[in-house]
Amino acid sequence: MNDILRFLQTRNSAPRLTAPAPAGAELEEIFRAALRAPDHAWLRPWRFITIAGERRAEFGRVLEHCLRLRQPDADAAALEKARNAPLRAPLLVAVVVALKEHPKVPPIEQRLSAACAAHAILLAAEALGYAGIWRTGASSFHRAVMDELGLAGNEELVGFVYLGSREGAPKNLPLLDTANFVSSW
Ligand SMILES: Cc1cc2nc3c(=O)[nH]c(=O)nc-3n(C[C@H](O)[C@H](O)[C@H](O)COP(=O)(O)O)c2cc1C
């Protein structure tokens, strides 16, 4: 089978990630792939923020603070979990949609384009031998987190792509039957 097709058909998220993460020229290649996301009217309605090293712990404090805002009665275990969440991978990429006014391109299309960019990051990382997983959660959609990351009023988080090297074996992929998802009209 065509190698590229096989690659696309077997992409596999990795919940457990460790060092190394892509950096330097390799990370640049990954972002170049993201910049080829389908994009109506070429609005380029996305940008990407990396969070690595010590900054992950600082970002964990932002997530903890956000949880306190959302759930003032959150217990110590929940707060610790939020604080440690960014430490689950050596590199996080916050995928941001920067919504633009356009007569033919509504916000939904721009969000979808940013989602495609996130997928491209996962694919490109895997193509380079790394692994990743797209994560969100309530904090991703909370303005306090967006403010801490420096997002403008017209910007939103689409999610976080956690990147690194796969820890453990890849999971077995389910064999889905295209017939259950495809019909002709
Ligand atoms: C928009 C979006 C948000 C997601 N958020 C989370 C999340 O917060 N936590 C999580 O474990 N998986 C999340 N996932 C699912 C994983 O990224 C992944 O797709 C899932 O573990 C299945 O693995 P697979 O991609 O290898 O099939 C999310 C996926 C999408 C598309």
Per-residue pLDDT reduced to its tens digit, 71-107: 999 999 999 999 999 999 999 999 999 999 999 999 9
Using most ligand atoms within 8 A of CB, pick from 133, 142, 160 the residue to mutate for ligand 1.
133
Total count of residues recorded for the chain: 185
- Predicted pLDDT at 1: 77
Using most ligand atoms within 8 A of CB, pick from 135, 158, 171 the residue to mutate for ligand 1.
135
Give residue ranges with CB within 6 A of ligand 1: 12-13, 133-137, 159
From the list 51, 72, 45, the residue with the least C-alpha distance to 154 is 45
3-state class percentages of the chain: helix first, strand second, coil last, to nearest 5: 45, 20, 35
Ligand 1 centroid to 29 CA: how many Å? 23
Shortest-distance Cα residue to atom 6 of ligand 1: 135
- Predicted pLDDT at 102: 98
Check: CB of residue 110 under 8 Å from CB of residue 155: no
33 phi and psi, to 5 degrees? -65, -40
Residue-range domains of the chain with CATH? 17-51+87-167 (3.40.109.10)
What one-character DSSP code corresponds to residue 103?
A: S
Check pLDDT > 80 for residue 20: yes
Q: Is the dihedral of CA 123, 126, 127, 130 positive or negative?
A: positive
Mean pLDDT of 117-132: 98
What number does the ligand 1 atom closest to the CA of 13 have?
A: 26
Residue % of the chain over a pLDDT of 70: 100
Separation of alpha carbons 162 and 86, rounded Å = 8
What confidence tier does 56 reach under pLDDT thresholds 50, 70, 90?
A: very high
Check pLDDT > 90 for residue 60: yes
What confidence tier does 36 reach under pLDDT thresholds 50, 70, 90?
A: very high
- Predicted pLDDT at 62: 98
Computed over every residue of the chain, the mean pLDDT equals 98
In terms of phi and psi (left: phi > 0; alpha: psi -120 to 50; beta: otherwise), the region of 150 is left
Q: Copy the structure tokens of residue 150.
A: 């420096």
